[in-house]
Structure 1
Amino acid sequence: MRRLLFVLLLVCPFLSFNAQNQPWQGKFEPIDNLISPPNSYRTASGAPGKAYWQQRADYKIKVTLDEKNNMILGEEMITYHNNSPEDLSYLWLQLEQNVNKKGNEDFGSINNNVKDGITSRQMQFLTRAMDFPAGYSIKYVKDGEGNNLKTLVNNTMMKVKLNNSLNSGESATLSIAWSYPITDRSLFLLSREGYEYFPEDDNTVYLIAHWFPRMAVYNDTEGWQNQQFQKLGEFALEFGDYDVEITVPEDHVVASTGTLLNSESVLTKTQLNRLKKAEKSFDKPVMVITKDEAVDNEKRKSKKLKTWKFKAENVRDFAFASSRKFLWDAQTVKLPTNTVMAMSFYPKEGLPVWQEESTNAIKQALEVYSEATFDYPYPVCISVNTSNIGMEFPMISFNGGRPVNGKISNAAKQSMVGTIIHEVGHNWFPMIVSSDERKWMWMDEGLNTFLHQRTVAERYPDYSSVTPKTIVPFMNGDKSILRPIMTTSDNELFNQFGMNFYIKPTVGLQMLRNSIIGKELFDEAFKEYANRWKYKHPNPADLFRTLEDATATDLDWFYRGWFFTTDNVDMELNNVKWFKVFEENTNIEDKNNSSAVKIAANEKGATEAQKDFSNGPEVINMMDTPDNAYGQFLSRIDEKEIRKELSGKNIYEVTIKNVGGLVMPVTIEWIFTDGTKEIDQLPAQIWRRNEYEIKKTFIKEKEVSKVNLDPNFEFADTNMSNNTFPKVQTKSDFERFKDNKSNP
């Protein structure tokens, strides 16, 4: 071995230079230096370790919705369990409503272009010309004994200094009273909650979310996750149980996270009977509140109040919607291990499409996601209609999409159904597989979009869905402004985060499933990841390691290129040489041999670029293997048999160049002169020894008329015009090829 290394260094002295002076970062090197190392909390297999821990926060909340003043007033008691090995002298809580305060550090920075012809609403986003009150007013924060606790508020985070240290393994109780003005959703870009006003009937739909002071995550990888909320990066939250009492106007209907505990007190006998009927309806929704009843309800404007009581177990958040405008339908969905009530709440403005599609979309999502990961574990799954939004919370989501005068285009309907599926899907990622949205948006949006698109493809085959072709324009963009997927949530360019955090991870997972690992093995691995990290807090390294651990597949090359770089796929089919072998006993060293002269001429001609196969094959004259070529081996191969097996066969040498920089498996389509086709697939490892150019030899019985790379467009190749041989000569030729071959 030492002698071989010495010879290599003599032949290739640059190897020694690289080893001594440069960290080798080839495309197939491990990504160990790019991800956090394994430890007793998170194992090298990608699973939680024996020492894994996470905190817990249980909530008891009483809240009142003041419709007259558009205010939320609440009191909560938090029981915080310190399961960490550290003692804590202070706690951090999230105050997301403060993001709406004027002067907030993020105000106006998401999209701040002033231009000629700007709309009044866009100027409102930028300048807040029409001011409004926003943000928390904290009345008190007390400990379990009723003693006041000192607090420090830094924008959207509140630090609570404990009177006594919270030791490892112990729990502490906080009591907090607060209020805040509910904001008009139409005044904000990226509005995730607030109210929507309907002037025609002078009513309001309230979406109440990140409405109470919530415990921030404290974990083993970064301690307190106390990054400020800046609208793009969402939330990192602890699991716990919730007891919530929601007091609203008497004629309001409340849709909420959790199980309704006092249905007899808040619903009429007719509504109760309909709800019980829905519990046995598996084939279609039952109207709990009809259009006529909702329209009549809009006129009441009751001054009295009513309290709805809900309980939710093992959730990481809690949200609700309230309005007198709601129609309500419900249907039961039977899963292998759970029965779920799927329900939709919507104003009359959502008819007819919401009554026709919303609850059915919930059902489709519940079934596909459950099959792909684990059965949906909660008792209800709710979709609430509002405008210009898609936002998720445990058991409930707020979803946009409405007809205009009762009519909706097919494209708008597809978008609406897709939004509902997507937001329902967030129950799995990140509401149960609870990744850190504020740091790694792609871990919830990308994984969820992957299953969302799978649901659309399987249950709505006539709808458009994401494929590798979708990402091509983005991947082919300006590398000076593109950023890798592994960019933290709030640092992505606003006009790129959709592609980078939603679509690119989705396409990457589609490639792994359909073309690199295979569906059966990938599906097992993806399910393994979901179940390993159910009700826990995974990081990117945990996902990467689990997919490798559960498939026995080296994927570091894929992670490195797809997640950590902005390289794109552009494989060029540079050349295809055609050879034939004839069984004859000649000697290449015999210069007088006519065959040898002919071969020499062909080889000289072969140095020129080949345009097609019209000149016929080059002829190979095979020599007998000299004895010294065997080294110390005494056995000999059967020379005549080899020549016989190859005689008359077509041998094709393919040269492929990596132009885009991103290595991928190679799929080669052979089209023969008789019109038949054949596919050869080469793994990405074909690029290991040369990341820029590869040659591969194939034997074919038939003569080839055309060769194509990536014929089914599996790998998001950004330039299909260089994927065929003979070379595409005209744009129309390429367009025909693209139309025929780029749609899987």
Structure 2
Amino acid sequence: MKTMSYFKSIAWALALCCFVSDLAQAQDTDKDNQSLFGEFMGHNGNVYRTASGKPGPEYWQNESDYEIHATLDDEKNSLTGTLTLTYTNNSPEDLDFIWMNMEQNRFMKNSRGNLTTPIGGNRYNGDIDGGYEISNLKASVKRGSSSKHIVSDTRMQVFFNEPIPAKGGKGTISMDFTYKIPEKGMDRMGRVDTKNGTIYAMAQWYPRAAVFDDIEGWNVEPYLGAGEFYLDYGDYDYYITAPFDYIVVGSGALQNANEVLSATMRERMEMAAKSDSTVFIVKPEEVNDATLRAKQEGTLTWHFKMENSRDVAFASSKAFVWDAAKIDLPSGKKALAQSVYPIESQGKEAWGRSTEYVKNSIENYSNMWFEYPYPVAVNVAAEINGMEYPGVSFCNWQSKGKDLWGVTDHEFGHNWFPMVVGSNERRYPWMDEGFNTFLNYYSSETFNKGEFSGDLDQTRSKVNWYLDPNSQGIETYPDVVDIRNLGMTAYVKPATGLFLLREYILGKERFDTAFKSYIKEWAYKHPQPRDFFNRMDNVAGENLAWFWKGWFYGTGKIDLAIDNVVPYQGNYVIILSNKGDMPMSVTLKVGYGDGTSETLKLPVEIWERGNTWNYLLDTDKTVKSVELDPDKMVPDVNFSNDIWPVATYSK
């Protein structure tokens, strides 16, 4: 029996040696994976956008400055206004015309957006009895003017009497406009009736210049619904006339507080500007108290200014409770957090905490990434599930608790993406929704010691979606993506990608340095996906082409595996394989017979020559277990091959 056992042991040892030898050879002769690691989108730069991901020495973007006078009619539910646009052409070519966005035309029965909405509807349902009426249009450059314009769905082409000169030439467009304010504004704007009056949440409320850039020329995609916005930066000087008992809040700084706020309201506003806790400007019991208003009849005109912004929005109602508190910024500057909501929404479990949420969100993002640039941050309770504009957000008036925190934090996070970093939302929603969802996770972890902590770190909770044959890639155009996939393609998957980069691939310090550099370099500019990829690669010092290709484009899956662990020449060989569609660096936790353990990290380059890798573990201890990704950060689609069981061989 002893002799037979001895020969069996010798045979088994020889088999193991041959097995490991074969694997070593396979490791060198496996298929070529260079297509997974090769150049992606190209790092080649030009004078406009550099290979290092920065704006180039001749980077340009055009500027759109607006003066708008508008009147809110609460009987007809309409807005009527006069607009003057001063357009600066910084491009290297003369412009015979400009395109303008006319999003209110989406609310017409024959709009492209309405005609491409499924019969069953979706989030982007809207009224179909609206649309712009434009009159008295004049477009001029220097001498003379032209009234020629062509309206095409949600775009309008405006022609000049002579071209706007390149490299700094200016043109002026003026017009009158009016439209019916939709009740259902595609979950982006609209109106809702409350006990004490109608709330008007006003966005996409004026004709806006389309972007002319060095990538596409004119960006003229129609407004269909899911795709959001891409806008020039400029200065805004706007006036909103509303009934005397209406409050108006908006993007930018209020210029005429002495005219529109009573002495009591101004005194309370001054208190709020110095207070860390919420101060009422209009208390719930004062909503219908006309004596608190600056006038007791007629109308009031509220005047706001906003500098270097890509848009402005406002809200108005006589039903508003109004409160505020100061925001402390890293530079020592202050801003003002504000909330307006109907009495139905009050209470500490609901909108009574809104200003607290706004203040904390703005302070968290400012301290971690980039200082908030605007004078106010206003949260508006409306019949909108969540929509963002510079300095103003619309959130649902019935939200409470964690839901209200989540939507408030998310919408105000958008002030960084895309308000400061002005990406093209209509083409690349992941560059604002995904980036913002990533920011939201850390904000929620910080707020009130994690009172409403998020779950972005639970990366494996979405594995079923990755395995779904109907899943789509992050790059899918937002207006054609399956509405069931939009939450993943625009929000969760890109946010998970950034989480992996920060927590697993690059580490916090390298990631934060690169990400902050991207924000700083592209603040108030128009980055493209390649600019982001290039900046992250260059500042982090890492060629991440394999990650950008694998995670952000297509539906590739991650599936790392431990195939076996075998003793070899007094040590152990851990046999690994990549059974998925994209590579990933490897973290292993090795457990030893003496109760100790150690963590090993293998670089992603182990997969460059093929899909198998043999790691020689140099140890004089007995290996009892090996586990892939012990902290479960990687969204690996197959959990069953991540753990090697208790060793059956001892040294």
TM-score when scaled to structure 2?
Answer: 0.89
> What's 1:155 paired with?
153
Amino acid at match of 1:516: I
> What's 2:598 paired with?
678
Alignment of 1:340-355 (within 5 A): 340-352=335-347, 353-355=349-351
Residue 42 of structure 1: SS of its match in structure 2?
A: coil
CA shift in 2, pair 1:469/1:280, >3 Å: closer
Amino acid at match of 1:212: Y
> What's 1:366 paired with?
362
Q: How many residues are paired up?
A: 614
2:38 is aligned with 1:29: yes
1:84 and 1:562 map into 2 onto residues whose CA distance is 34
Match of 2:575 among 646, 655, 658: 655
Alignment of 1:260-339 (within 5 A): 260-281=254-275, 283-296=276-289, 304-337=298-331, 338-339=333-334
Gaps of 5+ in 1: 1-10, 114-121, 582-650, 729-744
Residue 508 of structure 1 deviates from its aligned partner by: 0.6
Deviation digits for residues 228-269 of structure 1, max 9, x if unmatched? 011111111001111111000110001101111111111111
1:463 and 1:124 map into 2 onto residues whose CA distance is 26
Amino acid at match of 1:715: V
Alignment of 1:85-234 (within 5 A): 85-107=92-114, 109-113=116-120, 133-144=129-140, 147-168=145-166, 169-185=168-184, 190-198=186-194, 200-201=195-196, 203-234=197-228
> What's 1:390 paired with?
386
1:423 and 1:123 map into 2 onto residues whose CA distance is 21
1:536 and 1:542 map into 2 onto residues whose CA distance is 11
Alignment of 1:192-591 (within 5 A): 192-198=188-194, 200-201=195-196, 203-281=197-275, 283-296=276-289, 304-337=298-331, 338-352=333-347, 353-400=349-396, 402=398, 408=400, 413-460=401-448, 461-470=450-459, 472-473=461-462, 476-477=465-466, 480-579=469-568, 581=570
Residue 146 of structure 1 deviates from its aligned partner by: 7.2
| Contact 1:329/1:355 (8 A) holds in 2 | no
Amino acid at match of 1:557: W
2:631 is aligned with 1:717: no
| Contact 1:205/1:325 (8 A) holds in 2 | yes
1:222 and 1:125 map into 2 onto residues whose CA distance is 26
1:54 and 1:712 map into 2 onto residues whose CA distance is 44
| Contact 1:140/1:148 (8 A) holds in 2 | no
| Contact 1:476/1:568 (8 A) holds in 2 | no
CA shift in 2, pair 1:225/1:710, >3 Å: same
| Contact 2:188/2:384 (8 A) holds in 1 | no
CA shift in 2, pair 1:658/1:83, >3 Å: same
1:476 and 1:257 map into 2 onto residues whose CA distance is 38
CA shift in 2, pair 1:475/1:109, >3 Å: farther
2:209 and 2:302 map into 1 onto residues whose CA distance is 24
| Contact 1:346/1:354 (8 A) holds in 2 | no
Residue 242 of structure 2: SS of its match in structure 1?
A: strand
Residue 35 of structure 2: SS of its match in structure 1?
A: coil
Amino acid at match of 2:46: N
Amino acid at match of 1:172: G
Amino acid at match of 1:50: P
Residue 108 of structure 1 deviates from its aligned partner by: 6.0
CA shift in 2, pair 1:313/1:503, >3 Å: same
1:123 and 1:533 map into 2 onto residues whose CA distance is 34
Residue 359 of structure 1 deviates from its aligned partner by: 1.3
Residue 177 of structure 2: SS of its match in structure 1?
A: strand
Residue 297 of structure 1 deviates from its aligned partner by: 5.7
> What's 2:68 paired with?
61
1:333 and 1:46 map into 2 onto residues whose CA distance is 32
Deviation digits for residues 19-74 of structure 1, max 9, x if unmatched? 9xxxx8621111035x8x42110000000000000000110100000100000100
| Contact 1:330/1:341 (8 A) holds in 2 | yes
1:373 and 1:228 map into 2 onto residues whose CA distance is 33
CA shift in 2, pair 1:471/1:327, >3 Å: farther
> What's 1:733 paired with?
none
Considering only CA atoms, is the larger Rg found in Structure 1 or Structure 2? 1
2:625 is aligned with 1:706: yes
1:490 and 1:321 map into 2 onto residues whose CA distance is 27
CA shift in 2, pair 1:71/1:446, >3 Å: same
Residue 477 of structure 1 deviates from its aligned partner by: 3.9
> What's 1:80 paired with?
87
| Contact 1:471/1:499 (8 A) holds in 2 | no
Deviation digits for residues 67-123 of structure 1, max 9, x if unmatched? 00000100010000000000011110000011111121221644544xxxxxxxx69
| Contact 1:475/1:567 (8 A) holds in 2 | no
The more displaced of 334-343 and 518-527 is 334-343
| Contact 1:471/1:503 (8 A) holds in 2 | no
Deviation digits for residues 512-546 of structure 1, max 9, x if unmatched? 11111110111011110000001100000111000
1:699 and 1:134 map into 2 onto residues whose CA distance is 73
| Contact 2:210/2:219 (8 A) holds in 1 | yes
Deviation digits for residues 478-500 of structure 1, max 9, x if unmatched? 56432221222223211111111
The more displaced of 515-524 and 675-684 is 675-684
> What's 1:38 paired with?
45
Residue 125 of structure 1 deviates from its aligned partner by: 8.2
| Contact 1:706/1:725 (8 A) holds in 2 | yes
1:694 and 1:112 map into 2 onto residues whose CA distance is 52
| Contact 1:468/1:716 (8 A) holds in 2 | no
Residue 537 of structure 1: SS of its match in structure 2?
A: coil
> What's 2:17 paired with?
none
| Contact 2:269/2:324 (8 A) holds in 1 | yes
> What's 1:604 paired with?
none
Residue 416 of structure 2: SS of its match in structure 1?
A: coil
2:581 is aligned with 1:665: no
CA shift in 2, pair 1:474/1:215, >3 Å: farther
CA shift in 2, pair 1:517/1:369, >3 Å: same
Deviation digits for residues 389-427 of structure 1, max 9, x if unmatched? 211111111112526xxxx5xxxx212101111111111
Residue 39 of structure 1: SS of its match in structure 2?
A: coil
2:619 and 2:489 map into 1 onto residues whose CA distance is 41
Residue 132 of structure 1 deviates from its aligned partner by: 5.3
CA shift in 2, pair 1:123/1:221, >3 Å: closer
| Contact 2:191/2:383 (8 A) holds in 1 | no
1:465 and 1:360 map into 2 onto residues whose CA distance is 18
1:69 and 1:516 map into 2 onto residues whose CA distance is 57
> What's 1:647 paired with?
none
| Contact 1:298/1:324 (8 A) holds in 2 | no
